[in-house]
Chain A
Amino acid sequence: MSLFRSEEHVREWCAKNNLGMDGLLSLAQVWGMAQAWYSEDRRSAEWKRKSKDEAQTLFTSLGLTSAFWQL
């Protein structure tokens, strides 16, 4: 996942590389993903990767509901 200067720069880059815009995210959405994914201490014996369902629920909670975000 890349960071772009603005949405216009994503649009230009996607056009040059024949890619869709479906994977566009605001910084607030990425922050939500980062908090959900990395708040738990991975040094803990109890830590477990999020399940597919948990990840899908997270995406939905952040408004990422298009086919692009289906796991």
Chain B
Amino acid sequence: MSTELDVLVRKTVYDSILTRGVVPLKTALAAQMGLDVSDVGESFQRLADAHMFVLQADGEVRMANPFSAAATRFKVRAGADEWWANCIWDALGVSVMIRREAVVESHCPDCGESLILEVTKDGPRASSAVAHFAVPAAHWWDDIVFT
């Protein structure tokens, strides 16, 4: 276990996401940090074991909450910047984390209609929209991507 390295890896991943909108690959992070790719991969795995990241089958970061490396049903825009979020909780979480007003773009799973939420520093503007979890809280980590 390398706590100091994991803290640095976590910080560097979030720096990349927040400043460049990119969830970095192992190779890019290793080059940036002057580390072996295997060291980065092992750190990713420890961070995933601690439920700080969620990894893809190839060991790359899929989720660094609230951000997603893969396209999702939740795009968050702030000015010219944009990110993918994992769910509506995380989409609002992006606005909280970047400390900026943002617009969440999604669509209704029932009717497919496009949904736009404007999010100010005080929260989402009034809307008829609501959220729904399909999976009980105790089982979220059984399949966090589906949840």
Residues in chain A within 8 A of chain B (CB atoms): 1-7, 9-10, 12-14, 16-17, 19, 21-31, 33-35, 37-39, 42-45, 49, 59, 67-71
Q: Which 6 A-B pairs have the closest CB atoms?
A: A23-B133, A34-B92, A38-B93, A13-B110, A9-B110, A1-B87
- In the complex, chain B residues 1-59 whose Cβ is within 8 Å of any chain A Cβ: 7, 10-11, 14-15, 18, 50-52
- In the complex, chain B residues 77-114 whose Cβ is within 8 Å of any chain A Cβ: 87-97, 104, 106, 108-111, 113
Q: Verify B97–A2 contact, CB threshold 8 A.
A: no
Given contacts A1-B88, A3-B91, A27-B130, 8 further A-B contacts (CB under 8 A): A3-B130, A5-B110, A9-B108, A16-B110, A25-B132, A34-B96, A49-B52, A71-B138
Q: Verify B129–A19 contact, CB threshold 8 A.
A: no
Q: Verify A69–B11 contact, CB threshold 8 A.
A: no
* Closest residue of B by beta carbon distance from A42: B14
Q: Verify B93–A34 contact, CB threshold 8 A.
A: yes
Question: Shortest Cβ distance from B66 into chain A, in angstroms?
Answer: 6
B138 contacts across to A, CB distance below 8 A: 70-71
* Closest residue of B by beta carbon distance from A66: B136
Q: Verify B137–A5 contact, CB threshold 8 A.
A: no
User: A45 CA to B66 CA in the complex, in Å?
Assistant: 18
Q: Verify A49–B147 contact, CB threshold 8 A.
A: no
A33 contacts across to B, CB distance below 8 A: 89, 92
User: A29 CA to B132 CA in the complex, in Å?
Assistant: 11
* Closest residue of A by beta carbon distance from B106: A3
